[in-house]
Amino acid sequence: MAREPLSASPIRHSEAGSALVWLSVLMIATTALISISLPGVKGLVNRDKAQENERILKEARDAVEGFAVANHRLPCPSSDRDGDQDCSTSGNMLLTGYLPFSDLGLESGRDAYGGWLRYTVYGTTSTPYDDSSNPTNPSGTPSKRNFCAVWVNAPSSDTSYTHTLDDSGSAANVPFVIVSGGPSDADEDSSDERFDGNNEGSSGSAALSYDHPSETAVSGSYDDLVVDSSFNRSAVTIDNNNDGSNDSSTAISRFRNEVDCDTLVRYTFTGNEEDWSGNTYDGSLPASPKDPTLTTDRFGVSVRAYSFDSDVGDEDYISRTPTSNYVKEDSYSVSLWFNTSTSSTGLFSVTDGLPGAMSNWDRDLYLDSSGNVCARVWTGTSNYLCSSGTDYSSGNHYHVVHVLDGTTQYLYINGSLANSSNVGASTFTSETHIIIGWGFGTSPAFFSGTIDDVRVYNRALSAEEVKALSIRFRATPC
């Protein structure tokens, strides 16, 4: 018996109607879901853009700070967006412009929205710049020496200098500021690119004022992003005038520390004995034949260190006669590099006079007869601290740091702790000089060899700071 071919059953009208109804409901629901999701998707995109913009500005800030650490000056702004610095060598400098991204090693000077990043350095428009007040002037040693003077003498809230303003209108002076105009001209004033609020100024005194980095959208009229390197960011306050209390006006930011502008004195011996700390405590050479001579430093660069002779009648030294008690008794550090082939030789001391005319001395550094590096602190009695096991009179370059924090003294060699001992604050308070190339505790007390890069701090350096200082300025592994 033949079978009939299989065929689909006919759809009833009632079933077809139900399917159309469900399809319509599904389309309506899908449309509604899409309309609800689009703002969320847009929000995610905006959030990602904002995060990318924040990353770009922080990377730019790190690049500017890195440049300053390497070059001992701030990079100049770019005037024409080509990524190169535009610096003047005299008279007025370029105060504000665009990020010199090419000279900073960055791929672009634009933000995440395609706008150009504005970059402004610390300064004022009220008077012309010269080497002593220009943090970007690359004209040579004078400007590099005075770079720290900018930080030392910088005001904290003077609106005639580069500053940011918070919501209350309080001003804070800053070393530099970088600004993104954000995704749009939020205040819709069609002026000065996309920048809003205080960030719109690009000339005259208006170029000095910027919104604080914490500023956020205000009634939809502000969408900029600002980063700076505030003097107070990650700051450490110090007693700069030795009156027993910290001075908030001399807060040292992490940035200032990294560019070596937190020293009391710093002698780089770059062709002379000038002080690069910004405090103008220049060293003094005695009359010939007791004056040391310039020589090659640990990097092999000529005329960048001083050579000292300890021969009788030719005892060389460098001195400084500062304000009385300028080296703190309870919190200080001294750092220097030396190279000698002679044991029993002095390095550094704080005294009440010049060699041959002094009565008292303290915070001495010297090498003993075995070539150990030693330090001494006077607290009514001599407190000696020496390294052991290594002869440092080997004709190589070594980095030594002596730290006193009021309860302990530390001796570091090449960034590593060599020894420490419990000792209170020094009771020697009549100092009038620091002497480089002389140190009590050995005979002869005068130094024979080379000394370079001497730094004195009115605070106790941490072990991490000492290590970083040694590694950063080391010519070759020791």
Give yes or no: residues 272 and 224 share one domain.
no
Q: Which of 62-76, 169-183, 441-455 has the lowest mean pLDDT?
A: 62-76
- Evaluate if residue 166 carries a pLDDT over 60: yes
Flag whether 14 is in a domain. Answer: no
For residue 342, what pLDDT is reported?
Answer: 95
Do 160 and 74 sit in the same domain of this protein? yes
Q: What is the mean pLDDT of residues 274-291?
A: 87
Range of the domain at 202: 56-228
Task: Indicate whether 396 and 444 sit together in one domain.
Answer: yes
Parallel, antiparallel or unpaired: strands 397-404 and 408-413: antiparallel
CA 325 from centre of chain: 27
Whether residues 281 and 408 share a domain: the answer is yes
Alpha-carbon distance of 258 to 154, in angstroms, equals 17
- The sign one gets for the Cα dihedral 56, 59, 63, 69 is positive
341 and 415 inside one domain: yes
**269 and 194 part of one domain:** no
pLDDT tens digits, one per residue of 333-363: 999 999 999 999 999 999 999 998 999 999 9
Report the domain count for the chain: 2
How many of the other CB atoms lie within 10 Å of CB of 150? Answer: 22
Query: HSE on the CB side for 463, CA within 13 Å?
Result: 8
| Whether residue 268 sits in one domain with residue 127 | no
204-260: pLDDT as tens digits: 667 889 999 988 766 678 999 999 886 544 444 444 444 455 444 444 456 777 777
Q: Inform me whether the pLDDT recorded for 301 exceeds 80.
A: yes
Tell me, yes or no, whether 146 lies in a domain.
yes
**Is the same domain home to 216 and 297?**
no
Question: At residue 477, does pLDDT exceed 60?
Answer: no
In a domain, 41, yes or no: no
DSSP per-residue codes, 324-367? TT-S-SSSEEEEEEEE-S-SSEEEEEEESSSTTS-S-EEEEEEE
Contacts of 381 (CB under 8 A, 6+ apart): none
* Region for residue 260 given its phi and psi (left: phi exceeds 0; alpha: psi -120 to 50; beta: otherwise): left
pLDDT of residue 8: 45
Among 181, 209, 228, identify where a domain stops: 228
Instruction: Answer yes or no: pTM beyond 0.85.
Output: no
Give me the CATH number covering residue 395: 2.60.120.200
- Report for 15-24, 148-157, 284-293, 364-373: range of highest mean pLDDT: 364-373
Calculate the average pLDDT of the chain: 82
Round to whole Å and give the CA distance between 20 and 33.
20
Domain end among 204, 228, 252: 228
Beta bridge partners of 307: 293, 450
| pLDDT at res. 393 | 97
267 in a structural domain = yes
In angstroms, rounded to a whole number, what is the distance separating the alpha carbons of residues 425 and 402? 14
Residue 193: inside a domain:
yes
Percent of the chain with pLDDT over 70: 77
Mean pLDDT for the stretch of residues 175-198:
88
Q: What is the pLDDT of residue 123?
A: 82
pLDDT digits (tens, 9 = 90+) for 358-402: 999 999 999 999 999 999 999 999 999 999 999 999 999 999 999
According to the model, what pLDDT value does residue 18 have? 63
Asked whether residue 35 is domain-assigned, the answer is: no
